Amino acid sequence: MKKTILKLPAFIFSLACIAASGHALAEENPITGKDKHMGVATCASSVCHGKPAPDANSYALLNEYRTWSREDLHSKAYKILFNAESKRMAKNLGLASAHTADICLDCHADNVPQSQRGPKFVIRDGVGCEACHGGSEKWLDSHYKKGVTHAENLAAGMYPTESPKPRAEMCLSCHLGTKDKFATHRIMGAGHPRLAFELETFTANQPAHYVVDQDYLERKGQIESVTMWVAGVYYTAKQTLELYNSHLLTANGMIPELSFYDCHACHHPMDKKTWRQTSIEVGLKPGDLRLNDAALQMLVGIAYIRDQEGAQRLLQLSRDLHVASRKDVNGLRSSAKAALAQLASMEGALLDRNYNNNEITSLRQRILSKSAAGQYRDYTSAEQAFLGVETLTLALNQSERYSAQMDSFYASLASESAFQQGRFASVAKNLLSTMYP
């Protein structure tokens, strides 16, 4: 069963590739877990995952290595550290080189400690198999044997990438950051691209090295695309709030970590004189720094479909965050803690079951209505709104019907520097009237 591929805006692929984080079973992630990483070469032979073409007689395709090495940008993550731009960034940061600095390797390679590197492990493989699937020391020899179940592989340390929470935490560990690795404003000032991420879109646009067929469903089950999208939004919001505690202040304690704020609130032409609050930002004044709250904005809209009272509470807490962000650190952390508690209380309602077509239709209508009304007025939130509408439209099997309109919607996001909120809202309004006459 071939998975439909979402359109992926070109700017997303300017980003670095992922490493990994978060293990649902053993509470260990592929990078910080104790199991040895045996290396990509242990998977790449022609009798394992290195076949030239898919094997019709196996439950796995067995050409996964070739897909990864030829089509997957994760395999190029380490090589990027040698290009001119990376060398310039390293110089700006005072590093000897990008390809030897942990600050770069932590997300551009499977940067486990030397003690956990097996005999065939090579750091230059970049983000290889075990960066996502976990150190294979205890399951490498057993995972292909007849009769061994997926549950047994997980118990031996394989990472459950098929599940929303582990997958989200793994991807977000680099596409957003953790307390141990984080793309700071200083790193971006040195030349690193803005981090943009949406779990379901990135998943769908990865060159697939698996097929969701009957065998897959029996071994791993199936998570619908909308549920995975919601999980990505939920855990992005959650991880952002958690990062306030560890990275909110810079080393001197005077200037907040600016990467938490909306890049485009400051990085725009000075002759572009527009200002307007969204409903979430009530309480901010002209000139106030604005938190990057794109995930929270999306989550408030999603929550209204299943938990209106919780959504209203989350909306108020989001407003509190913005107000607290311009007053004091303790107030912001307190507001973040309250928002985290609210998220925890809503997790079951949002993620415990898949979304039906009526919910998907209503959710898409809500996002488009908010877009048309100018609520997603900054580039980052508009970007997330588009990706959400795209995912929902695909889930409803309506992508061909609205192909031209979705192309126009995407075109309104073609340039960060030339983004016009009015144009985005106008296109959203036309799309709304077409989809919901």
User: Does residue 365 carry a pLDDT above 60?
Assistant: yes
Crossing angle of helices 225-247 and 379-395, in 10° steps, is 160
Residues in CB range of 59: below 8 A, 6 or more apart: 215, 216, 219
Percentage of residues in the chain having pLDDT higher than 70 = 89
Convert the pLDDT of each residue in 154-201 to its tens digit.
999 999 999 999 999 999 999 999 988 989 999 999 999 999 999 999
Convert the pLDDT of each residue in 252-261 to its tens digit.
666 788 888 8
Least confident of 115-124, 141-150, 324-333: 324-333
| pLDDT value of residue 13 | 31
Confidence of residue 102 (pLDDT cuts 50, 70, 90): very high
Residue 5 DSSP code: P
Distance CA 15, CA 382 (A): 18
Helices vs strands, H then E, count in the chain:
18, 0
Q: What angle do CA 19, 23, 25 make, to 5 degrees?
A: 160
Percentage of residues in the chain having pLDDT higher than 90 = 67
Local structure of 193: helix, strand or coil: coil
Tell me the chain's radius of gyration from C-alpha atoms: 22
Residues in CB range of 206: below 8 A, 6 or more apart: 72
Q: Are 165 and 231 in contact (CB under 8 A)?
A: yes
Q: Give the chain's mean pLDDT.
A: 87
Region 148-157 average pLDDT: 92
Distance CA 281, CA 162 (A): 35
Least confident of 114-118, 264-268, 342-346: 264-268
| pLDDT value of residue 286 | 73
CATH number, domain 10-223: 1.10.1130
Q: Are 284 and 277 in contact (CB under 8 A)?
A: yes
